[in-house]
Structure 1
Amino acid sequence: MKNLSYPFRLILLLSVVISTGLSAGTPDNELNIFRKLSGKLQSVKTIAYHYTREFTYPAEDYHSKSEGEMYIDFSKENDLAGFRYQYRDTTGFSIFNNAELFETSAEDRTIQVKSKVTPADFEGLSPLYNSIITLRNILPAVISDQSILKQVKDTLIGKKQYYLLNFQTQDRYPDYLGKSFTLTTEKIRFYNTIIVDRKSFLPVSYIQLKKGSRDVNRTDFSRIVLNPAEPKENSWYYSTYLKEYKEKKRESVKLIDAGQVAPDFNLVRNETGEKVSLQQFRGHPVLLEFWIRNCSYCIKAVPDLNTLNTRYGVSGLKVLAINTMDSQQAIHQFVDRHKVHYDTLNGDASVNENYGVSAFPQIILIDKQGIVLYSGDLNISILDAMIGKSL
């Protein structure tokens, strides 16, 4: 399964055409293919594979690819989450041993340990994104939900036969563990394609697209081995690695609450290069947006923020979009491409920590006296009412 990029992209385009033509109801013979894949994954006790995760967002001129080696044990005694795993790549490794979750950084030789693990702790872990674990858990829900349109097609890749299992979801997508669906805050139709080896009946790729977008999220599973040799027993315990890695305490991040004093900052206005502080806007309500380039929701926020800036800017509202993660060139490209009509700031990333920002975009509305009125997602109806009262 080497060098599959081009044919897989061709299959991807074909699957989108197929998916958009799905109709209500799934023939039993096609539904049985979904059931067979689900049954196969449910029967797996242990599995190892080479995992590749690739994001391609043409509108943002963004492409990211990461890969590593995954081992998963689904044995019954792993009852906390239904599995334990080890994942290793060039940046370090991540291990969950059914009691503790720990990750290392090869760069600074540190190890972070999390005890009392909850399902929320698995969200955001790269090796679990649209993984075998995700598919194993989400397929029963996909099969049983009649509102999810499903279809199966045959295809050839390099003279080898595969199934294309297509299904659509509206305003929701599988979470990292596949235990449930994450709901979107806007109307989005997701096209999902699982490419299945007809001989082994194991998935080799999971591809996600969104209607009206050229963005592609893709995960590949290659060099799959069922019932592989188990890692050494002491490899499951973080104490084994303390001679090589220094333990780093995990810091909890909480978004600043309404009622708190907004921390001052000193950043740079991208448009002019001048220094900007929050203090200089005292006497005006200020709306901060924390954003990054690689974020479809940040793109979709631009028209709404432009509207707020136009509607209330003449009355004194200051809209400031803060990006401390991307280069100045990348920010300029974003501003030009998406026609941003409000000021963008960059500089010291500590402003993110001071406001408790760990996801993007995040909105902070501050009153004339520098007190936080609102913090959270971009909710135009809430912000409209609050801004009107604060002017």
Structure 2
Amino acid sequence: MMKYFLIIITLLLSNNLAYTQDKNSANQVLEKTYEKLEKINSLSYDLTRELNYPSNNYNAISKWECYYFFDLHDNPIGTKFQITNSSSIDVFNGTEYFSLIKEDKTSEIQNNIKKEDFGSKSYFYNSILTLRNILPIIIADNSSDKSVIDTLISGKTYKKVKINIGKRRIQNLGEDFDKMETDYNFIYTLLIDTKTYFPKEIIQSNDKNSDFIKTSFENLNIKPIAPNENSWFYSTYRKEYKKAEKLSQITKLSLGSEAPNWKLNQLDTKKTFSLDELKGKVVVLDFWIKNCGYCISSIPFLNELHKKFKDKDFILLGVNAYDTDEKINEFYKKYGLKYPVLTNGNLVAKDYGVYVFPTIFVIDKSGKIIYLDNENSDRNQLEKIIQEALK
């Protein structure tokens, strides 16, 4: 009996030792990566982010070209950047942040910007900037399960580091973890080049289903050609780009005001909705259009919102401003919207002062507006407001 007991103890100690060694090996790889990233003065790379949610029949890919110049002096996020995609150019010069919209040649500018204002930017989600900030925290975190293996991809060797951080999610800027109330754990898999120890990709997944978010970094250059000095200044673009009015300036409505009534048809049905008929319910209106990346990327969140509150005095309605029924239907099926969509919403959008998409309104049971924001909506705040309104 004692012999078997000793065997079990030995096996347990061996497994624990192997687990500790595996965690230490993973930390050693992460430490090398952090040392590389921490020493960088400037950086450019092509960023691809894939959202793949089979559970919602949803897939979307976004691409950006990124340039960073790391500057810790009087800079809220420790870097200047220029980030470009097919629709816009975002520039932060350490003092002012501005966005140039290519299609309509408009611009938006923010002065005295704070660190938290950058938290919702899609191109920071699981980015190299995220890693540069979060790696010391992950390395020091003994509660995370970490492992590392060697893997060969297209003849090239990589370290694949897997990190299970439990019911926590890495913040966009990598300042810390956010605690999550989920029934699954968050898993991050880093693919790291064994020659340079720079990251190749980050995959965020979970232990419940096959949903994942993958960010990939191509053409990484730590000595890029610097952009023209004038390209950092908003004044350079004033002739070409006119200043767009902010949502708060152009909307006719304000918090606490009565939401105008409307009556619209639901897509592909004879059913109609009117705001007056929805009195007694908390109503969320999501104004959107087809050709809008932010509209697409918000769908999984809106589907979850609909699922969470649909059995209460609540309704979420997508209001399309001006696309044809045919185009709306294609979009609806392709991206798997779970909530009702209303069509011919152009006049309603004008009545509500909506010219930026997506724009979200929350209307309480009495018909008053209790929330309005555009694509930078704080999702946690939005959900809290809905919960309070349902009490």
- Give the TM-score taking structure 2 as reference length: 0.75
After TM superposition, the structure 1 = structure 2 runs for residues 72-91 of structure 1, keeping only pairs within 5 Å, are: 72-77=68-73, 79-91=75-87
User: 1:298 pairs with 294, 302, 315, which one?
Assistant: 302
Match of 1:377 in 2: 383
C-alpha displacement of 1:69: 1.9
Q: Does 1:227 align with 2:227?
A: no
List per-residue Cα deviations over 1:194-227 (Å, max 9, x = no partner): 1100001100111111232322211111111112
1:252–1:201 CA distance, 2 compared to 1 (3 A): farther
Match of 1:327 in 2: 328
Mapping 1:58-73, distance limit 5 Å: 58-73=54-69
RMSD value over aligned CA atoms?
3.6
Q: Structure 2: give runs of 5+ residues left out of the alignment.
A: 1-17, 287-294, 321-326, 372-380
Number of the residue aligned with 1:132: 128
In structure 1, the residue matched to 2:208 is 212
The yes-or-no answer on 1:239 pairing with 2:235 is yes
CA distance in 1, matches of 2:261, 2:76: 43
- In the TM superposition, 1:1-391 aligns within 5 A as 27-77=23-73, 79-252=75-248, 260-270=257-267, 272-281=269-278, 284-290=279-285, 295-308=299-312, 319-324=314-319, 327-328=328-329, 330-331=331-332, 345-348=342-345, 354=352, 364-367=363-366, 370-371=367-368, 376-377=382-383, 386=391
Tell me the equivalent position of 2:292.
none
Who is 1:15 aligned against? none
**1:51–1:161 distance in 2 versus 1, CA, 3 Å:** same
The amino acid across from 1:366 in the alignment is K
Alignment deviations for residues 62-86 of structure 1 (CA, whole Å, 9 cap, x no partner): 3222223211111333633201111
Distance of 1:123 and 1:352 partners within structure 2:
29
Contact 1:286 1:365 in 2 (8 A): yes
Q: Measured at CA, do residues 266 and 378 of structure 1 come closer, stay the same or move farther in structure 2, by a change above 3 Å? A: farther
Q: Deviations over 1:213-243 (max 9, x none)?
A: 3222111111111122221211110111122
Q: Alignment partner of 1:64: what SS?
A: strand
Q: Could you state the TM-score of these two structures normalised by the residue count of structure 1?
A: 0.75
* Contact persistence 1:262–1:366 (CA under 8 A): no
Q: Is the 8 A contact 1:111 1:246 kept in 2?
A: yes
The answer to whether the 8 A contact 1:364-1:373 is kept is: yes
Residue ranges of structure 1 left out of the alignment (5+ in a row): 1-21, 309-316, 387-391
Change (3 A) 1:88 1:329: closer
Q: How far apart in 1 are the matches of 2:304 and 2:199?
A: 32
Contact 2:57/2:335 (<8 A) preserved: no
User: How many residue pairs were aligned?
Assistant: 346
